[in-house]
Amino acid sequence: MTHHVKRAFKYRFYPTDAQAAELSRTFGCVRKVYNMALAARTEAWARQERVNYDQTSAMLTAWKKTDELAYLGEVSSVPLQQALRHLQVAFTNFFAKRAKYPRFKSRKKSRRSAEYTSSAFRLREGKLTLAKMSEPLDIVWSRPLPQDVAPSTVTVSQDPAGRWFVSLLVEDATVKPLPATDTVVGIDVGLTHLLTLSTGEQITNPRHERRDRARLALAQRRLAKKAKGDGANRTKARRRVARIYARIADRRRDHLHKLTTRLVRENQTLVIEDLTVRNMVKNRKLSRAISDAAWSQLRNMLEYKAAWYGRELIAVDRFFPSSRRCSHCGTLAEKMPLDVREWTCVCGTVHDRDVNAAKNLVAAGPAVSVWGAGVRPQRESSRTGQSAMKQKPPRREP
């Protein structure tokens, strides 16, 4: 069986003024089309009718013929069609109970992006030219693309810090399952230590956000003082805050990539706790630390890398008493407040709370795997049209 992995390669680029204007116009049109199609589908839903992708595509053709929406015909039509496809995927995920009802894209908060399929770009000799543009993009090729591959889609985006990125989706034949091993590792996530492994190894939490906290607080105070109508100065102050956030996020992502790649390379089976980070972040005292530790991002990386390299990732139910159970004799301690970091079991074994939890996860892993309660259902990706891992069927309502 051929192992095809769809992989996105992301690069920075520096547009000319004309390219930046064209792309900004395209982003605006993508948002407009998405919102109008969502409104049409929502109105139909209220009448107990369903509108599908083909119907929204016909609507788009009609919109372009009206005077007030004629400007939609001035940008490449492909990103507009892709926006309708993304909306279709959002509804598919909603009907499959994998996601909430699709939301409207806001001008200020939504991601500024446009997706081009192969008919709307040309990649020749390291030069990428998009539809409606005469000049290629000035891309910083920070790493090589896999040889002899043609990207299926190209996504152009601008982040809140004002940086421009292009992401090329390719089938990467170089990603192959790694040789099988018999190593199993339990992974317990935390705040003091980002990860504690069943081997006893503890990986310190770098606390990326804390390093820039003073600078971030100052930039946020300055932004708060800018009057709402103070256009250029407010935009400049907002960009300054966004740049600090971007630097924090870049460092965090880089660290998590190195860490997850090592764990997947070294272990055949990885057992983690199925945490609901969404609910935990509601705790005001811990929300900042939990967000900075980026447990969801870590879990997501482990999922798709395990799928890439032929490894097994098992998620154990979060109600499993991994901290309170003695990994030596199996006795369950009655209470285990969070401030207790070391405890002694009745059998005399002295436990580090996190190492003990990681060892218990390893012990629980095979049972979970046998029962097939592996990994929660994943959203279908609008880029690859597939989930990162085999899906567990949605839990039936009682």
Main-chain dihedrals φ then ψ at residue 269, nearest 5 degrees: -125, 130
Nearest residue to 192 (alpha-carbon basis) of 274, 276, 285, 293: 293
Active site residue 171: no
The rounded distance, in Å, linking the Cα atoms of 92 and 103 is 14
How many other β-carbons are positioned within 10 Å of the β-carbon of residue 112?
A: 19
Active site residue 212: no
Active site residue 188: yes
Residue type, 183: T
- What lies within 8 Å, CB to CB, of 159 at 6+ separation is 165, 242, 246
Q: From the candidates 273, 292, 303, 380, give the one annotated as an active-site residue.
A: 273
Residue type, 35: N
Return the ∠ at Cα 97 (arms to 92 and 102), rounded to 5°: 55
Q: From the candidates 188, 209, 292, 303, give the one annotated as an active-site residue.
A: 188
Q: From the candidates 115, 209, 354, 380, give the one annotated as an active-site residue.
A: 354
Is-contact 128 121, C-beta < 8 A? yes
- What lies within 8 Å, CB to CB, of 354 at 6+ separation is 188, 190, 193, 196, 202, 323, 341
Task: Tell me whether residue 364 is exposed, middle or buried, using C-beta atoms within 10 angstroms of its C-beta: 0 to 12, 13 to 18, 19 or more.
Answer: buried
The rounded distance, in Å, linking the Cα atoms of 148 and 210 is 43
The rounded distance, in Å, linking the Cα atoms of 157 and 199 is 41
Nearest residue to 168 (alpha-carbon basis) of 143, 140, 145: 145
Annotated active-site positions, please?
188, 273, 354
